[in-house]
Structure 1
Amino acid sequence: MARVLVLYYSTYGHIETMANAIAEGARSAGAVVDVKRVPETVPREIAEKNHFKVDQAAPVATVADLENYDAIVLGTGTRYGRMSSQMAAFLDQTGGLWLRGALNGKVGAAFVSTATQHGGQETTLFSLITNLMHLGMVIVGLPYSHQGQMTLSEVVGGAPYGATTIAGGDGSRQPSEIDLEGARHQGKLVAQTAAKLFP
């Protein structure tokens, strides 16, 4: 069975919800899945004052955890069209893994959240995917086999590069069922791909 890590950073819980949907999809394809988060870099008193979701069920990952998986799916909210500083700080510590080629040939994927439809979803996905490719990973996106991303009757997330959701400027919009379907679909594809590469 393929081992999949869903590794995320979520300030307000939107990406946490998407991470659990990615995991659900991967498990539906028979993978063993762990959901973990990167460390928070904002002091707790500031995070609480700004209404961060500070109590999340997922354990905090270490860089050493990464090489124990056949596939790694990264998720984060967008910061000015790129990944959050928390996720960047974590990935900046993977130089040793890169040097040893520890993740070469493994499966990588990405998912994100933005405040608005045009808030940088695709550039943020690529900011994650670029790191995964430098680490030697094989990328799985969200193909149009998830046709929900083509919906025009409502606001939906989704891009061929990964699952996405839109939180709204005040964070009040939660991932829709179509957004969650996209996340589950991508998770399933990641697990299926990993199973083929690591039978």
Structure 2
Amino acid sequence: MSARVFIVYYSLYGHVHAMAQAVAEGVRDAGLEAELFRVPETLPDEVIEKMGAKSFQKEFQKLPVITPDELAKADAIIFGTPTRFGNMSSQMRSFLDATGGIWSRGALAGKVGSVFTSSGTQHGGQESTILSMHITLLHHGMIIAGLPYTFAGQTTMDEITGCSPYGASTIAGGSGERFPSANELAGARYQGRYVAWIARQLAGKQNEFLS
């Protein structure tokens, strides 16, 4: 049975977007279609312009906006968010806070959940951001998938790099000047492929457990 893999994310300057594209490549490498969505923006246009993000946002906002109910159509959901003081962005938090309806129905129980992120500095909260999102996914009954150590790139000592066993990540730099490295993109592709592989094994079987 085929499985549907959603990549649901928020990106302000494009770093998470670049990682999402690599995650999607990994899903496709595993033989599944990657469906990309963005969560609703909560910042006014004038604020986005003052933050210097208007140029990228013109492209990013072409992506379809997902609704909480649509999440239930996926067999696996890979969430992406920038780090905000060691936690997810307010846009992602606002979206997840609106998923009470599908939570009450157990609509995500037994589905695969995974997270990738971006932070401004090497120790800027990448791991805590992913782990804090895992809490919400566990409340939904999702099966958490991280980035296994079989992706050897996360143990490299040759360069500064993101990625951890919790999920792929990138370091954007204090001014957003650094975009994902080849190693970080490789980690994102690996995570996408890994999640797609798990989703294929579980596709259509959630109801067996829930019935």
Question: Shorter-chain TM-score: what band?
Answer: over 0.9
Pick from 121, 146, 152 the counterpart of residue 116 of structure 1: 121
Give the match for residue 98 of structure 2.
93
Give the match for residue 159 of structure 1.
164
Q: How many residues align?
A: 199
- Root-mean-square deviation (CA, aligned residues, Å) is 0.9
Deviation at 1:58, TM superposition (A): 2.0
Give the match for residue 188 of structure 1.
193
Which letter does structure 2 place at the counterpart of 1:117? Answer: Q
Give the match for residue 37 of structure 1.
38
Give the match for residue 174 of structure 2.
169
Give the match for residue 47 of structure 2.
46
C-alpha offsets along residues 30-80 of structure 1, whole Å, 9 cap, x if unaligned?
112111111110001110121123121422111121001000001100000
Q: Which moved more, 1:54-63 or 1:2-11?
A: 54-63
Give the match for residue 71 of structure 2.
66
Any stretches of 5+ residues in structure 2 without a counterpart? 205-211
Give the match for residue 21 of structure 2.
20
Which letter does structure 1 place at the counterpart of 2:57? Answer: V
TM-score, normalised by the number of residues in structure 2: 0.92
Q: Which has the larger radius of gyration?
A: 2
Indicate whether 1:10 and 2:15 are aligned: no
Give the match for residue 102 of structure 1.
107
Partner SS state of residue 74, structure 1: strand
Which letter does structure 1 place at the counterpart of 2:5? Answer: V
Q: Which moved more, 1:47-56 or 1:107-116?
A: 47-56
Which letter does structure 2 place at the counterpart of 1:3? Answer: R
Partner Cα distance (2:190, 2:11) in 1: 20
Partner SS state of residue 162, structure 1: coil
Partner SS state of residue 54, structure 1: helix
Give the match for residue 137 of structure 1.
142
Any stretches of 5+ residues in structure 1 without a counterpart? none
TM-score, normalised by the number of residues in structure 1: 0.98
Partner Cα distance (2:125, 2:162) in 1: 12
- In percent, how many aligned pairs have the same letter? 54
